[in-house]
Amino acid sequence: NAGVTQTPKFQVLKTGQSMTLQCAQDMNHEYMSWYRQDPGMGLRLIHYSVGAGITDQGEVPNGYNVSRSTTEDFPLRLLSAAPSQTSVYFCASSYSIQGAPLHFGNGTRLTVT
Amino acid sequence: AQKITQTQPGMFVQEKEAVTLDCTYDTSDPSYGLFWYKQPSSGEMIFLIYQGSYDQQNATEGRYSLNFQKARKSANLVISASQLGDSAMYFCAISTGRRALTFGSGTRLQVQP
């Protein structure tokens, strides 16, 4: 099984550009989330979804949009990239929001110049 | 609110010895889950072990065990018989109610031959 698939693996953007980070899972998980990881820090929650059509903000949502039109896909959109958004982005899914381990994608390394 | 504190930025351990990675948490919710993840230098996030707040016994998974002390709000990870492949970042995380997983800042473990 593929698990959680993130694309692209690497991306370089110029300030002000927009882009979408793709995330897909094939485990029929209801819960999906996006985290960012900055050097020397843990993961911070950006947005999450408890099912198709339902999304909510996490700890650091500003500058990002999400939607959940299907159970499988949970794309993250950067509206107008800023250097502060340079980070590694992880998508994760689980069958429950509590008590179930997250399955992570391999991450997207984003650089904004 | 929920919070995880990992006070050891870095730890060294000799191969074949045991090591304890500290984690304290803060939550007012009586029902919660505690997780440990490993992140090797390759960057992927690997689930190690889970402890529920109502679990009577400490969780164990192979060489990993979770020393859960509820009154002290601590959930330390114990790795027995360390191996060179255990060198990695280790993250403690908590989930409560319908809140998504909150991570600590991590501990970098280096296993020396």
Which tens digit of pLDDT belongs to each residue from A46-93? 999 999 999 999 999 999 999 999 999 999 999 999 999 999 999 999
| DSSP state at residue A102 | P
| CA-closest candidate to residue B33, choices A97, A31, A93, A99 | A99
CB contact under 8 Å between B102 and A45, yes or no, is yes
| CA-closest candidate to residue B105, choices A22, A96, A44 | A44
pLDDT of the residue at A9:
96
From chain B, the residues in CB contact with A41 under 8 A are 105-106
Render A14-32 in DSSP notation, one character per residue: -TT--EEEEEEESS--SEE
pLDDT of the residue at B18:
98
Of the pLDDT bands very low, low, confident and very high (cuts 50, 70, 90), residue A2 is confident
CB contact under 8 Å between B95 and A40, yes or no, is no
CB contact under 8 Å between B45 and A44, yes or no, is no
Residue that wins the pLDDT comparison between B98 and A84: A84
- Cross-chain CB nearest to B103 (options A40, A42, A103): A42
Block residue for tokens 């990675």: B21
Q: In residues, how long is chain A?
A: 113
Pairing relationship of beta strands A54-57 and B46-52 according to DSSP bridges: unpaired
Q: Report whether pLDDT(B97) > 80.
A: no
Which tens digit of pLDDT belongs to each residue from A10-40? 999 999 999 999 999 999 999 999 999 998 7
CB contact under 8 Å between A41 and B105, yes or no, is yes
pLDDT of the residue at A1:
65
Q: Report whether pLDDT(B15) > 80.
A: yes
Instruction: Name the least confident of A51-55, B11-15, B71-75, B94-98.
Output: B94-98
Instruction: Name the least confident of A96-110, B42-56, B58-72, B82-96.
Output: A96-110
Block residue for tokens 């593929």: A2
Whether omega before B40 lies within 30 degrees of 0, making that bond cis, reads no
